[in-house]
Structure 1
């Protein structure tokens, strides 16, 4: 099972996970794609919880 958690400060959450010695399942990355009227930006990373669930943290922006 996968959970997506939207946030406005993904870098702080990512740094907190690293400081707690939690290894990301998916490293922090940013992707860009065109929507109808704007450029969409998604920055994400993923962690596995102890039960094997994927926790995907996402910050969304547009330009």
Structure 2
């Protein structure tokens, strides 16, 4: 019972983090003109954050299963 509850809470935490930060770093930002005009370092930072958020979305779903 306890490992299942921990897994559920971890999934909920990941889903909350994804939903909060996805407002600021949606995947569609990578396709925008504003993103293309940024510096390389800024592009890398945004790409890493959006990639991690996308991964957390899938990890949240996997932990619910």
Higher strand share: 1
Higher helix share: 2
Length-normalised TM-score, structure 1: 0.29
Length-normalised TM-score, structure 2: 0.28
Larger radius of gyration: 2
